Structure 1
């Protein structure tokens, strides 16, 4: 039973499984191509041993953390609909916290790279949109943790905050995808000394493919998380779990 008096089989889930698998496949492909790009065209990864390669951790970790994990955190209530609500909330918060940690490392990498190479920080539209998305994401995590995990918050307040949390969570994710597209364009134009991008050079084509994958992956994640017919139906024990401190 997904809802009191409503059998699980009555929920309309046509196409959900296939779309969810397709979304994950696009996300994994995006990560694989990001790794291939950094190794084949940007020299790979390093930290203090080679500061010039330190920057490469930025797009890599942002893709894993603030794109792939962010999307999976958004979808966890729909992909794991038979798991108890309390456990889902902890998993959701844990995924998002891990995404924050990866994002912090990614930001340290890019700021350190800029400072060591005399490049100004926070001058581009990519950086403004990206930092705005990060700040929103962190506030979302903090407000969500207090609202949905702190036992002292009354149920009506949780109910009132839920649509706000969902809206700004989706808005922040869209901002992240937008920032990634701006960042890819900025990077290829910054390193393209021979105008190979305008001549359909291999690296430029790969950048464009990754850009399309960001859009497709992001679009599918938003679609799955926003469709009411795919939402997790309330279970009989949910109200008890939300109001009981000991669960």
Structure 2
């Protein structure tokens, strides 16, 4: 970092961030709205133990809304609220990711339950491998973040040592989640649309647009997270004991 920063550069960066955040918000919202529409209009809605065909829909809805949409927004909290006290942003960041942790448990269980009802094996597809990898890494990331950065007992030296890895793993886990979601959408399209897919019926078109908005959302979130111009600037109040590396989150 330089010793001085032109305020005009910061203002320009904030304008660019807001544009990117709007793109992420619109594409992400369209993604899960179309997903809900497909689930309820074309695929039987949400059920639990009453319909073998639609049992998997809970898994789809939870993973798209929480693991993709909310996880992506949770990653942007420090960029979205640059002037808020950091402890408040930390609590919001942790709360969003905790909700995603709970949704992952229910979503994974609903998929396993669906396979059991259909006498299908578990964890043999590329989708399941990416998904399970993302879930394991996400749980580890959440546990490390909660115990080291939210609770007060970790030393400054430990936080300074861990923060670069924590910041690196977040986007990688999000990318893994996105790949798992994309491969899952392809599996669902082939499984439900089948041979009609080549004719691009309306239900297949909806799933294709879900995947397109998923890609736009994911690429925008990753860009906003990785672009150094959008980092949170150090603030004097409440951050005097933070290391420089943690401040730059």
1:233 matched to 2:233? yes
Deviation sequence 1:3-47 (CA, Å, 0-9, x none): x99797662323211211121111111110000111121111111
Deviation sequence 1:66-88 (CA, Å, 0-9, x none): 10110111000011111101111
Secondary structure, counterpart of 2:148 in structure 1: helix
Retained in 2: the 8 A contact 1:86–1:241?
Answer: no
The normalised TM-score by structure 2 is 0.90
1:127 matched to 2:124? no
Q: Which runs of 5+ in 2 are unaligned?
A: 244-249
What residue number does 1:111 align with?
112
Retained in 2: the 8 A contact 1:197–1:203?
Answer: no
The aligned length equals 239
* CA separation of 1:238 and 1:156: change in aligned 2, threshold 3 A: farther
Q: Cα offset for 1:150?
A: 2.3
State how far apart, in whole Å, the 2-side matches of 1:235 and 1:9 are: 18
Instruction: Map residues 215-230 of structure 1 onto 2, 5 A cutoff.
Output: 215-230=215-230
Secondary structure, counterpart of 1:208 in structure 2: helix
Secondary structure, counterpart of 1:14 in structure 2: helix
What residue number does 1:209 align with?
209
Task: Provide the aligned C-alpha RMSD in A.
Answer: 1.9
The normalised TM-score by structure 1 is 0.91
* CA separation of 1:170 and 1:137: change in aligned 2, threshold 3 A: same
Secondary structure, counterpart of 2:147 in structure 1: helix
What residue number does 1:167 align with?
168
State how far apart, in whole Å, the 2-side matches of 1:223 and 1:174 are: 12
What residue number does 2:158 align with?
157
Retained in 1: the 8 A contact 2:31–2:211?
Answer: no
Instruction: Map residues 64-213 of structure 1 onto 2, 5 A cutoff.
Output: 64-193=65-194, 195-213=195-213
Secondary structure, counterpart of 2:111 in structure 1: helix
Q: Cα offset for 1:49?
A: 3.1
